């Protein structure tokens, strides 16, 4: 069952954060709903649509940036009170715009997630969770990693309020008072939580189910029980769409079952419906040009037409409505509609003219200050929405940058060798500049000149483990007076590692142990320096264990450490080698004496090679096949048909399209595998105190005529 | 002559949607959300070489899509008349697809086109060019019209009438040379151009009702020839890969760096640059507004149609692989031209121009919505700017603050080579106060590897002054668009200063002269009727002179070659340029002549060093020619030998004499190896010959560039005559004196 939704733009406010737009409950059965939206200028706007025009209900004065919004109200009454949080303050407004609550949470950090339920208020600020009832402190919890979102279950089956936290370390933490009840492992860092069937629903488990979305674009449904949870379903992100920013449930298809509305950070809006087997299936997809920060289902533009309402990063409120577009309406309608638009356009033009005059005055004044020797020029900081994440599938980093106004150009600079990959979606003209690694330490200097109206840029970079440094992006938007802002991204020594929940303990492991006069905080900071996805805050307790896996090779790493002692175990000897190099360097920097010991398992090298083997074999075969395609096609043309070819070759011809696509998807995959095998070889003998760099050429020869056994033999037999 | 039956089954399954009526099509369009959908789609199952696609009516009636494919073949797609084609000579039926005939060229095809060439032919003639030959072929009669050897190769081809030449010509562009053949294969037009030709188009550039020839070449120039007279030169910043005529004097162009744009005469209307490459461009009125749009097929499979005035996209579609060619033809034989786009994998789509009721709006989003969105976006931008000024007035501290009177100073100067650094032009950028320059971005065309150059000092090397060495590879004037990020040492937000500086054409010449360097032996002398002050003005505008000069007698050191360049002007208006670099002399003459608006200028020249080189090259050409002939003879011998050997071997096999057979086959194997080796020698010889011929063509072009207007054309045609008659001495006489006589 497909649905068609037409796009309508309503208004534009300032830059918005995640989950800052809500629809107020409808008054009548078929009446349109009012929209409440809050932005970074601190303005809370409430508006309704009348004859295609946005009519404001109220608008607050500018102030501190608003990070979240929620609706609340006494239990059993319409949830129409608006709560917003900015800084560490929570304010409440009635639907008419009257402020009835100002609550200072007295947190040292800004609130970034909030949930309101009756008289209960739940707020989170990075690692801290606080529960207030009637503005009085109730519970408190300190999470192990950053909290991205919070929601709270209320159900007749549950005896109490159950808050659930979405934490960056890939778990949902279910709380009981100030204590952790249990946690739920999810496949990616969760970024958003939403109650499934929030209005109660009809089946028994209603009100106990939570939808989550992850920063790597996965969605799932979990059922929260008293002391355990069950995953109902998960939707993977095969098509590599953006991360999830917002979720809502609403029956837009009109089949009586609530659909799931999803907004992603690459501008994708999706509607998932349920087929007879209760599996979610994609029913509708639309791509807006910027991050979708909030999504709601309801009725805004025209009564009795349902729609999906979205708010984007730059503050556009856009509806995807079931109301048919005017092209399909009768000729009479068309005239009326264009008259409306006409007046809208005229009003806009008039406003533009006025603004133009004011801007000209502003420019003149600004010019005049440049004559004065005492005046300074301080242009306010523009906001950049950026994300630098490791993609698991191709072991490369994706960098997305989003600015509230069009980007003019971007300068990328790196002090570590990295490869910049081409991204189809990115239409900017890239140009690589000559680099001077001496004396300025540049390994990459590239400019992106953007096409007009580009507010969002997506880039991909590939790093090499062991080479670490900083990637800097200088973003210049098309805004006078022209300024640029620099953002820094760390390329960590073990950049291709990702946190995981558990590792396979049966593999042959190499161990690196450190003993020395260092504090828990010190060794934690070194681990943060080496590995991605480790929380910056020193964990609570005496000691900690983190698990990682290498996204490219699939090898594992276990890091356990406490004050004065650290143990790192990995089946990949290169990982251990990199860690030992970096850690000893860091310790030397702080003049700390380290006692380093190794426990090398020789089997681990063969084990790693055997793990690489299927990947390498597949890649080699693919490369060989792709190489043959053109020649085979020529033969086919020459002979008129392919019947004379052996089945293997005919197969290649038949599959040529998919082979080529596969090959194109993973550029330099083979070279990367070769590089890692070479590292493995060098590192194996490094731990034996032998330098085998001279033998690398013979290794490469063996790789050129690859065969697992001869490679294993070479690793074992090399006579030093 | 086709029977009714064959017309009836014109559109078999391959052209599926063709039976749709316009009404259903409009309905379909609305359903799909796009307003323009392909009217037919074909999968040809043959690869298509990029830019080698054309449509020809070889029988005078039925248009056939014709394209070069792998293995030196050309395929002709003719869905209109089945089962009537004779299979002889070059043509053979493809067994994969009965609508396709294959034409065996046996050489890698480099270009092809179709059109009316002969005066009394019924259908179009197909012309196929390769690196060594040009074939004119009558597909309908299945016969060669002519087959000519072209030593300069054929990189591009165009067919049509040129200037006053009465017969239509097939004009090919090769290595620095242009050649036009009539239907009998006679060479009616020949001239040279600056570099390897990559694209050609005929259009009435001057508006005199006669066609001029536009030539795009690898030296980034678009040249306009009125027959063999060079009318104008437009310098672009990359190899010109495609040209197409739009309407009137307007034409579209595409460059190897992903730029496409439109010129009207010598003025560029618009251009856009993409990170993808434009594979093919074509003019077609897709929105039926009476004006053609520029249709571009891109390397990523995208097709877009852009307004010829603004470059605004009015339609786009996507193929799954790179586009190979964009052509047009009445492929459905219903009197309407379709735009036909082909991908390199052999997918073909045809688009019909939009019907009138779409009102030129081919995109699926409503334009009103877009207008409102655009206006709101502008409002938002103005509001943001206003906020910038308001906040600026309020706050007086914070990060990224700089004194309001900060001004950026830029200076250009010539720096001769030192031990540490090559000779370069130095652009120094500095701030007058304690602010620092975090990074400098310079966007400029044609002087950097990409389109930009970045200087990003490391944190410890930050200062208020940045020196950027620039080495322009060619003598061209360049606009440097400089963006400097200015702020404090620990700022995260910087002010961006944007300045444009022009680098003069001859910037790599230093006025400081080392007296020990020997004076140049090459010179060119000519007379002008202008005051010396005007020459001084030209000098000051085109060279980087720190203090300027006040006399037209100056000497420079070339920073590229190291030699000297001296310019002197006698009281009678005779100017003498002394340099050993004939290219530089040509550039100077052309630049000065255009500055002084001189239309015709003859000159005497002598470049002993260069001429000596050319003489050697000419002897080499002769040698390579004779080697070529010898090798060809040897090859003929060998092939006879092979034939004998094969017969003997097969005889032995039939006789059951396996020992002899084995021996013969072994010999045959050895002979085969010899042949391969010989082939390698031959191809090396051929490549060397090509390089020599190219440099001879270039020499003629260079001799021409020392003159302007008519004298220039005279030199080029006189040189050509001298080469034709193999008179080397006459050639040098022409190059020196400018005429063949005396």
Average pLDDT over residues B688-697: 85
State pLDDT tens for residues B552-583. 888 888 888 778 888 888 888 888 998 888 88
Q: What is the pLDDT of residue A77?
A: 81
- Asked if the Cβ–Cβ distance from A449 to B372 is below 8 Å, we say no
Tell me: pLDDT of A642 over 90: no
Average pLDDT over residues A223-249: 86
Tell me: pLDDT of A91 over 70: yes
- Asked if the Cβ–Cβ distance from B495 to A379 is below 8 Å, we say yes
List the beta bridge partners of residue A27. none
- Asked if the Cβ–Cβ distance from B441 to A447 is below 8 Å, we say yes
Q: Which of A205-209, A299-303, B678-682 shows the lowest mean pLDDT across its residues?
A: A205-209
Q: What is the pLDDT of residue A634?
A: 78
CATH code that applies to domain A384-491? 2.60.40
Tell me: pLDDT of B34 over 50: no
State pLDDT tens for residues B649-670. 888 889 888 888 898 889 888 8
- Asked if the Cβ–Cβ distance from B386 to A362 is below 8 Å, we say yes
- Asked if the Cβ–Cβ distance from A434 to B448 is below 8 Å, we say yes
Q: What is the pLDDT of residue B92?
A: 59
Q: What percent of chain B has pLDDT over 70?
A: 89
Q: What is the pLDDT of residue B20?
A: 31
- Asked if the Cβ–Cβ distance from B102 to A637 is below 8 Å, we say yes
Output the six-digit token pair for A480. 């006078």
- Asked if the Cβ–Cβ distance from A355 to B438 is below 8 Å, we say no
User: What is the Cα Rg of chain A in Å?
Assistant: 29
Q: Which residue of B has its CA nearest to A363?
A: B389
Query: Is residue B674 one of the residues assigned to a domain?
Result: yes
Average pLDDT over residues B610-628: 88
Q: What percent of chain B has pLDDT over 90?
A: 9
Tell me: pLDDT of A346 over 90: no
Q: What is the pLDDT of residue B359?
A: 47
Average pLDDT over residues A234-245: 87
B532: enclosing H helix or E strand: helix B532-542
Average pLDDT over residues A300-329: 81
Query: Is residue B631 one of the residues assigned to a domain?
Result: yes
For position B539, which CATH number holds?
Answer: 3.30.310
The answer to whether B456 and A445 have CB atoms below 8 angstroms apart is yes
- A7 to chain B: which residues are within 8 Å by CB? 365, 369
Tell me: pLDDT of A487 over 90: yes
Query: CA of A216 to nearest chain B CA: how many angstroms apart?
Result: 27
For chains A and B, CB pairs below 8 A equal 228
> Does the fold of domain A384-491 match that of domain A13-255?
no
Q: What is the pLDDT of residue A38?
A: 93
Range of A509-513, B75-79, B226-230 with top mean pLDDT: A509-513
Tell me: pLDDT of B715 over 80: yes
Strand order of the sheet with strand A419-421?
A: A384-391, A396-403, A456-462, A419-421
Identify the band that residue B207 occupies on the pLDDT scale cut at 50, 70 and 90: confident
Specify the long-range contacts of residues A587-594, CB closer than 8 Å, at least 24 apart. Answer: A587/A514, A587/A516, A587/A518, A587/A526, A590/A522, A592/A516, A592/A517, A592/A518, A592/A522, A593/A516, A593/A517, A594/A514, A594/A515, A594/A516, A594/A518
Output the six-digit token pair for A225. 């029980």
Choose among B282, B276, B197: nearest CA to B240: B197
Q: What is the pLDDT of residue A68?
A: 92
Average pLDDT over residues A565-569: 91
- Nearest-angstrom CA–CA distance, A318 and A21: 11
Average pLDDT over residues A440-455: 86
Q: What is the pLDDT of residue B360?
A: 44
Query: Is residue B645 one of the residues assigned to a domain?
Result: yes
Q: Which domain holds residue B479?
A: 409-503
- Nearest-angstrom CA–CA distance, B212 and B329: 24
> Do B594 and B632 reside in the same domain of the chain?
no
Q: Which residue of A has its CA nearest to B485?
A: A484
More confident position, A198 or B401: B401
> Do B639 and B528 reside in the same domain of the chain?
no
More confident position, B192 or A213: A213
State pLDDT tens for residues B460-506. 888 888 888 888 888 888 889 999 998 888 888 888 999 999 899 99
Residue with tokens 């943001």: B384
> Do B474 and B528 reside in the same domain of the chain?
no
Average pLDDT over residues B689-717: 86
More confident position, B647 or B82: B647
Q: What is the pLDDT of residue A414?
A: 92
Query: Is residue B225 one of the residues assigned to a domain?
Result: no
Q: Which residue of B has its CA nearest to A653?
A: B45
- B453 to chain A: which residues are within 8 Å by CB? 433-434
> Do B640 and B662 reside in the same domain of the chain?
yes
- Asked if the Cβ–Cβ distance from A479 to B388 is below 8 Å, we say yes
Which of A379, A428, A479 comes nearest B381 by C-beta? A479
Q: What is the pLDDT of residue B23?
A: 35
Output the six-digit token pair for B4. 């009714």
Work out the mean pLDDT of chain B and round it to a whole number. 82
- Nearest-angstrom CA–CA distance, A254 and A303: 15
- Nearest-angstrom CA–CA distance, B180 and B189: 5
Give me the interface pTM, i.e. the ipTM: 0.82
> Could you give the 3-state DSSP secondary structure of residue A353?
helix
Tell me: pLDDT of B214 over 60: yes
- Asked if the Cβ–Cβ distance from B452 to A422 is below 8 Å, we say no
- Structural domain spans, chain A: 13-255, 384-491, 497-600, 603-716
Which residues, including other chains, have CB under 8 Å from residue A704's CB and lie 6 or more apart?
none
- Asked if the Cβ–Cβ distance from A378 to B397 is below 8 Å, we say yes
Output the six-digit token pair for B493. 């937000």
Residue A370 backbone class (left: φ over 0; alpha: ψ -120 to 50; beta: rest): alpha
Q: Which residue of A has its CA nearest to B74?
A: A637
State pLDDT tens for residues A33-70. 899 999 998 999 999 888 778 888 999 998 889 999 99
- A415 to chain B: which residues are within 8 Å by CB? 458
Which of B95, B368, B396 comes nearest A378 by C-beta? B396
Q: What is the pLDDT of residue A718?
A: 62
Tell me: pLDDT of B445 over 50: yes
Work out the mean pLDDT of chain A and round it to a whole number. 85
Q: What is the pLDDT of residue A75?
A: 75
Tell me: pLDDT of A327 over 70: no
Output the six-digit token pair for A610. 């055997």
Domain tally, chain B: 3
- Nearest-angstrom CA–CA distance, A48 and A303: 12
Specify the long-range contacts of residues B719-726, CB closer than 8 Å, at least 24 apart. Answer: B720/B190, B720/B191, B720/B192, B723/B696
> Could you give the 3-state DSSP secondary structure of residue A662?
helix
Average pLDDT over residues B348-352: 88
Tell me: pLDDT of A422 over 60: yes
What backbone phi and psi angles, to 5 degrees, belong to A240? 55, 45
- A362 to chain B: which residues are within 8 Å by CB? 385-386, 388-390
- Nearest-angstrom CA–CA distance, A630 and A636: 10
Which residues, including other chains, have CB under 8 Å from residue A420's CB and lie 6 or more apart?
A412, A430, A432, A444, A446, A459, A460, A461
- Asked if the Cβ–Cβ distance from B456 to A349 is below 8 Å, we say no
Q: What is the pLDDT of residue B345?
A: 85
> Do B546 and B524 reside in the same domain of the chain?
yes
Average pLDDT over residues B273-283: 88
> Do B579 and B544 reside in the same domain of the chain?
yes
Query: Is residue B263 one of the residues assigned to a domain?
Result: no
For position B416, which CATH number holds?
Answer: 2.60.40
> Would you list the DSSP string of B297-335?
EETTSEEEEE-TTT--EEEEEE-SS-EEEEEEE-TTSSS
Q: What is the pLDDT of residue A78?
A: 83
Which of A325, A474, A633 comes nearest B366 by C-beta? A325
Which of A348, A445, A657 comes nearest B376 by C-beta? A348
> Do B617 and B594 reside in the same domain of the chain?
no
The answer to whether B326 and B341 have CB atoms below 8 angstroms apart is yes
The answer to whether B163 and B174 have CB atoms below 8 angstroms apart is no
Residue with tokens 């300032």: A14
- Asked if the Cβ–Cβ distance from A486 to B493 is below 8 Å, we say yes
> Do B612 and B727 reside in the same domain of the chain?
yes
> Do B442 and B529 reside in the same domain of the chain?
no
Q: What is the pLDDT of residue B741?
A: 63
Query: Is residue B679 one of the residues assigned to a domain?
Result: yes
Q: What is the pLDDT of residue B448?
A: 86
Tell me: pLDDT of A223 over 90: no
Helical pair B658-705 and B728-737, crossing angle rounded to 10 deg:
30
- Choosing from B484, B503, B522, the residue where a domain stops is B503
- The model carries a pTM of 0.81
Q: What is the pLDDT of residue B8?
A: 28
Q: What is the pLDDT of residue B441?
A: 92
> Would you list the DSSP string of A577-631?
HHHHHHHHHHHHHTT--EEEEEE--HHHHHHHHHHHHHHHHHHHHHHHHHHHHHH
- Choosing from B580, B598, B616, the residue where a domain stops is B598
Identify the band that residue A158 occupies on the pLDDT scale cut at 50, 70 and 90: low
> Do B548 and B669 reside in the same domain of the chain?
no
CA distances from A205 to A153, A256, B71 (A): 11, 18, 67
In CATH terms, the fold of domain A497-600 is Double Stranded RNA Binding Domain (3.30.160)
Q: What is the pLDDT of residue B7?
A: 28
Tell me: pLDDT of A720 over 60: no
Which residues, including other chains, have CB under 8 Å from residue B21's CB and lie 6 or more apart?
none
Average pLDDT over residues B617-633: 86
Query: CA of B651 to nearest chain A CA: how many angstroms apart?
Result: 28
Identify the band that residue B27 occupies on the pLDDT scale cut at 50, 70 and 90: very low
Q: Quickly count: other Cβ atoms within 10 Å of residue B321's Cβ.
A: 18
- Nearest-angstrom CA–CA distance, B439 and A436: 13
CATH code that applies to domain A13-255? 2.130.10.10
- A351 to chain B: which residues are within 8 Å by CB? 379
> Do B615 and B730 reside in the same domain of the chain?
yes
Average pLDDT over residues A205-212: 76
List the beta bridge partners of residue A489. A471
- Choosing from B486, B503, B520, the residue where a domain stops is B503
- Nearest-angstrom CA–CA distance, A333 and A340: 11
Query: CA of A314 to nearest chain B CA: how many angstroms apart?
Result: 10
Query: Is residue B464 one of the residues assigned to a domain?
Result: yes
- Asked if the Cβ–Cβ distance from A476 to B483 is below 8 Å, we say yes
> Could you give the 3-state DSSP secondary structure of residue A484?
strand
């Amino acid at each position: 069952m497909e649905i068609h939704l037409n796009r309508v733009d309503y208004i534009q406010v300032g830059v918005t954060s995640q989950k800052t737009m809500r629809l107020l409950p409808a008054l009548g059965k078929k009446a349109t709903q009012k929209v409440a939206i809050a932005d970074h200028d601190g303005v809370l706007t409430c508006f309704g649509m009348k004859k295609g025009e946005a009519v404001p209900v109220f608008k607050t004065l500018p102030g501190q940036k608003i990070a979240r919004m929620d609706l609340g109200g006494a239990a059993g009454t319409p949830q129409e009170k608006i709560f917003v949080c900015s800084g560490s303050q929570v304010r409440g407004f009635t639907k008419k715009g009257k402020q009835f609550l100002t609550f200072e949470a007295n947190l040292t950090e800004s609130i970034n997630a909030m949930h309101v339920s009756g008289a209960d208020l739940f707020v989170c600020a990075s690692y801290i969770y606080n529960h207030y009832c009637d503005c009085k402190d109730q519970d408190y919890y300190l999470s192990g990693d950053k909290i991205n979102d919070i929601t709270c279950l209320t159900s007749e089956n549950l005896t109490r309020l159950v808050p659930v936290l979405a934490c960056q370390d890939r778990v949902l933490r279910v709380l009981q008072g100030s204590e952790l009840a249990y946690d739920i492992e999810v496949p990616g860092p969760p970024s958003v939580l939403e109650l499934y069937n929030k209005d109660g629903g009809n089946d028994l488990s209603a009100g106990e189910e939570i939808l989550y979305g992850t920063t790597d674009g996965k969605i799932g449904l979990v059922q929260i029980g008293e002391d355990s949870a069950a995953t109902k379903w998960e939707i993977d992100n095969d098509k590599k769409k953006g991360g999830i920013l917002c979720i809502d449930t609403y029956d837009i298809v009109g089949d009586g079952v609530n659909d799931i509305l999803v907004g992603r950070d690459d501008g994708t809006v999706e509607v998932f419906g349920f087929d007879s087997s209760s599996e979610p299936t994609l029913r509708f997809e639309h791509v807006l040009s910027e991050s979708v920060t909030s999504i709601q289902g309801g009725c805004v533009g025209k009564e009795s037409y349902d729609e999906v309402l979205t708010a984007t990063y730059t503050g556009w409120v856009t509806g995807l409505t079931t109301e048919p577009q005017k092209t399909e309406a009768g000729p009479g309608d068309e005239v009326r509609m264009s008259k409306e638009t006409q007046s809208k356009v005229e009003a806009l033009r008039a406003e533009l003219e006025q603004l133009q005059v004011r801007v000209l005055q502003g420019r003149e004044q600004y010019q005049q200050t440049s004559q004065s020797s005492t005046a300074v020029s301080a242009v306010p900081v523009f906001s950049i929405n950026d994300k630098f994440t490791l993609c698991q599938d191709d072991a490369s980093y994706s960098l997305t940058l989003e600015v509230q106004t069009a980007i003019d150009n971007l300068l990328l600079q790196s002090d570590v060798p990295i490869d910049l990959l081409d991204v189809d979606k990115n239409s900017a003209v890239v140009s690589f500049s000559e680099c001077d690694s001496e004396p300025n330490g540049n390994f990459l200097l590239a400019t992106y000149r953007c096409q007009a109206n580009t507010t969002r840029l997506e880039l991909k970079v590939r790093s090499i483990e062991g080479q670490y440094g900083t990637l800097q992006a200088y973003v210049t938007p098309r805004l006078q007076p022209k300024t640029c802002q620099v953002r820094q991204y760390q390329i960590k020594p073990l950049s291709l590692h990702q946190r995981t929940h558990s590792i396979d303990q049966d593999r042959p492991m190499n161990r690196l142990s450190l003993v020395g006069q260092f504090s828990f905080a010190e060794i934690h900071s070194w681990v943060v320096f080496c590995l991605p996805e480790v929380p910056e805050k020193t964990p609570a307790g005496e000691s900690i264990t983190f698990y990682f896996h290498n996204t490219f090779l699939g090898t594992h790493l276990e890091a356990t450490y406490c004050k004065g002692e650290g143990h790192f175990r990995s089946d990949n000897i290169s990982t251990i080698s990199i860690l030992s190099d970096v850690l000893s360097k860091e310790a030397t920097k702080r003049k700390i004496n380290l006692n380093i010991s190794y426990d090398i398992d020789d089997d681990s090298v063969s084990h790693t090679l055997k793990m690489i083997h299927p990947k390498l074999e597949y890649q080699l075969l693919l490369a060989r096949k792709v190489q043959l395609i053109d020649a085979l096609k020529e033969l086919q043309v020459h002979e008129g048909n392919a019947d004379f070819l052996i089945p293997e070759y005919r197969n290649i011809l038949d599959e040529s399209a998919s082979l080529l696509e596969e090959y194109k998807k993973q550029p330099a995959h083979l070279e990367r595998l070769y590089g890692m095998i070479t590292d493995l070889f060098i590192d194996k003998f490094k731990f034996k105190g032998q330098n085998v760099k001279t033998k690398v050429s013979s290794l490469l020869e063996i790789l050129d005529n690859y065969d697992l056994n001869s490679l294993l033999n070479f690793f074992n037999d090399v006579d030093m | 002559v086709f029977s009714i039956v064959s017309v009836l089954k014109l559109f078999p399954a391959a052209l599926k949607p063709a039976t749709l009526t316009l009404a259903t099509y409009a309905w379909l369009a609305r359903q799909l959300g796009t307003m323009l959908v392909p009217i037919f789609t074909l999968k040809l199952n043959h690869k298509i070489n990029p830019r080698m696609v054309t449509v020809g009516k070889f029988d005078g009636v039925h248009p056939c899509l014709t394209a070069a494919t792998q293995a030196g073949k050309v395929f002709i797609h003719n869905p209109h008349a089945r089962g009537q084609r004779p299979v002889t000579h070059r043509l053979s039926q493809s067994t994969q697809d009965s609508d396709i005939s294959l034409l065996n060229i046996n050489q890698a095809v480099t270009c092809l086109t179709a059109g009316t060439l002969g005066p009394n032919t019924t259908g179009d003639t197909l012309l196929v060019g390769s690196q060594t030959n040009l074939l004119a072929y009558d597909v309908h009669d299945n016969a060669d019209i002519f087959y000519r050897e072209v030593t300069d190769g054929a990189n591009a081809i165009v067919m049509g009438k040129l200037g006053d030449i009465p017969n239509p010509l097939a004009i090919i562009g090769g290595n620095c040379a242009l050649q036009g053949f009539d239907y009998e294969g006679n060479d009616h037009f020949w001239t040279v151009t600056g570099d390897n030709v990559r694209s050609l188009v005929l259009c009435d550039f001057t508006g005199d009702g006669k066609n001029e020839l536009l030539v795009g070449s690898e030296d980034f120039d678009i040249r306009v020839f009125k027959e063999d007279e060079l009318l104008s030169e437009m310098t672009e910043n990359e190899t010109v890969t495609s040209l197409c005529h739009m309407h009137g004097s307007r034409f579209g162009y595409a460059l190897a760096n992903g730029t496409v744009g439109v010129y009207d005469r010598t003025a560029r209307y618009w251009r856009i640059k993409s990170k993808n490459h434009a594979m093919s461009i074509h003019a077609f009125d897709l929105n039926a507004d009476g004006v053609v749009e520029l249709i571009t097929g891109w390397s990523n499979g995208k097709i877009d149609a852009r307004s010829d005035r603004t470059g605004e996209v009015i339609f786009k579609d996507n193929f799954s692989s790179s586009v190979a060619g964009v052509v047009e033809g009445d492929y459905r034989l219903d009197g309407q031209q379709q735009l036909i786009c082909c991908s390199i994998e052999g997918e073909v789509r045809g688009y019909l121009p939009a019907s009138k009721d779409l009102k030129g709006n081919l995109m699926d989003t409503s334009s009103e919505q877009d207008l409102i969105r655009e206006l709101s976006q502008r409002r938002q931008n103005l509001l943001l700017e206003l906020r910038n000024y308001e906040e600026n007035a309020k706050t007086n501290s914070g990060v990224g603050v700089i004194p309001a009177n900060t001004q950026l100073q830029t200076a250009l100067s010539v720096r001769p080579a030192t031990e540490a650094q090559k000779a370069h032009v130095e652009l120094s950028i500095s701030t007058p106060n304690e602010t620092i320059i975090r990074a400098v971005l310079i966007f400029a065309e044609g002087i950097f590897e990409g389109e930009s150059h970045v200087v990003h000092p490391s944190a410890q090397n930050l200062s208020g002054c940045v020196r950027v060495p620039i080495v322009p590879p060619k003598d061209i004037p360049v606009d440097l668009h400089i963006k400097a990020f200015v702020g404090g040492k620990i700022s995260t937000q910087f002010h961006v200063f944007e300045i444009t500086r022009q680098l003069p054409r001859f910037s790599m010449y230093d006025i400081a002269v080392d007296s020990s360097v020997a004076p140049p032996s090459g010179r060119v002398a000519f007379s002008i009727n202008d005051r010396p002050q005007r020459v001084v003005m030209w000098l000051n505008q085109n060279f980087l002179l720190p203090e300027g000069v006040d006399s037209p007698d100056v000497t420079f050191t070339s920073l590229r070659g190291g030699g000297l360049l001296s310019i002197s002007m006698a009281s009678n208006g005779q100017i003498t340029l002394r340099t050993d670099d004939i290219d530089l002399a040509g550039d100077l003459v052309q630049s000065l002549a255009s500055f002084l608006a001189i239309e015709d200028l003859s000159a005497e020249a002598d470049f002993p060093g260069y001429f000596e080189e050319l003489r050697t090259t000419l002897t080499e050409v002769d040698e390579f020619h004779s080697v070529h002939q010898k090798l060809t003879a040897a090859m003929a011998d060998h092939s006879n030998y092979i034939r004998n050997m094969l017969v003997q071997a097969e005889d032995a096999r039939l006789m059951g004499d396996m020992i002899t057979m084995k021996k013969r086959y072994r010999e045959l194997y050895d002979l085969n190896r010899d042949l391969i080796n010989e082939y390698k020698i031959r191809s090396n010889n051929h490549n060397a010959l090509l390089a020599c011929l190219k440099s001879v063509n270039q020499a003629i072009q260079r001799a021409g560039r020392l003159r302007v207007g008519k004298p220039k054309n005279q030199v080029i045609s006189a040189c050509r005559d001298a080469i034709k008659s193999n008179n080397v001495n006459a050639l040098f006489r022409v190059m020196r004196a400018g005429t063949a006589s005396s």
